[in-house]
Amino acid sequence: MNHGQWILFLAVFAEQMGLPLPAVPWLLAAGALSATGQFNAPVGIGSSVLACLLGDMFWFYLGRYRGTKVLSLLCRISLEPDSCVRRTSNLFTRYGLRGLLVAKFVPGLSTVAPPLAGMAGVNISTFLMVDAAGSLLYGAGFIILGRCFSGQIEQIGTALGHIGTTALVFFGVLVVIYISFKYWRRQQLIKNYNATRITVTELNQKLDAGETPVILDLRSATELELDATIILGAIHVDINNIENHSHKIPDNQDIILYCSCPNEYTSARIAQLLRQKGFKRVRPLQGGIAAWRESKFPTSKHIPETSKMPEFNPTKMTAG
């Protein structure tokens, strides 16, 4: 491959590995250059597909052998700590491998889908076949689009050339500010609820003492399908329904929230929502389900009952 092909390959591969470096501008530029004969479009499409497959195979096998630890890693490095994982989980649950065909068109989702496929036990040959189709659709789609609008892309490039390095510096500053703001907002949310968190030992002591806190499992449906272990007495809820059905949650008991996100981000976010609804006794569980399992405290298997918000029964909850 020439330098242009290597640059395109590395740009696509970096994106698939989870780095916040979008490959779409490079694909569009490659398409625009192919219109003037300066770039070989078929070879470019092939190199982009190869880059996608190599990156996706890496995440696929990590998901197969490391399971939920991989999702926790992706959740930790994501700008939106749980939303990209949850959205991809929902996409994977609804459409299965067909979701791989469109996942690459949404930044972040293409990195989460392969480990989910690996965790779900998908056959490697089936995964590669579907992933190759999605990669081809992605790479060829944007290269062809760049070729069709080569004139407009060339005009944009010329305009940026006139502006010079000032435009690049300004763009870089905006990116740094955006990432810094996201990180700051995330840390502020977590900091606000650090003081209210409850440890797994404290929760276990409450249950042993006969108390009946409301324990809510906030993980996605896909996470529960892959790992059905829940805290004994906990109730799984869909966080998309929790706001509309918050009136069903008792307000005279402690409400314990847990998830599988690093720093309990989802729990902190839902705790903030419930506090805005008037609930005062809301406490995220420090360490989430992972800390509870590591302490070998009582667990049970989640049995799906309904997609609706459950009715809360304190007796049932303590009995598990």
Q: Distance between CA atoms of 160 and 281, rounded to whole angstroms?
A: 54
Sequential pLDDT tens for the chain (320 residues)? 467 788 889 989 988 887 777 888 888 888 888 888 888 889 999 999 999 999 999 989 888 887 666 766 666 555 554 445 555 565 566 666 777 788 788 766 777 788 888 877 788 999 999 999 999 999 999 999 888 887 776 665 555 555 556 666 766 677 678 667 766 766 665 666 565 788 999 999 999 999 989 999 988 776 777 778 899 989 888 877 787 777 788 878 899 999 876 566 778 788 888 888 888 889 889 888 888 988 999 998 877 654 445 555 543 333 33
Are 317 and 235 contacting, i.e. CB atoms less than 8 angstroms apart? yes
CATH fold of the domain at 196-319: Oxidized Rhodanese; domain 1 (3.40.250)
The structural domains of the chain, with segments of one domain joined by +, span: 3-163, 196-319
Q: Supply the pLDDT for residue 32.
A: 86
Beta bridge partners of 256: 215, 283
- Name the DSSP class of 198: B
Beta bridge partners of 300: 230
Beta bridge partners of 283: 256
Beta strand segments in the chain, E: 214-217, 229-231, 235-236, 255-258, 282-284, 299-301
User: What's the token pair of residue 10?
Assistant: 């590395």
Neighbouring CB atoms inside 10 A of 129's CB total 12
Are 235 and 217 contacting, i.e. CB atoms less than 8 angstroms apart? yes
Query: The whole model's pTM is what?
Result: 0.60
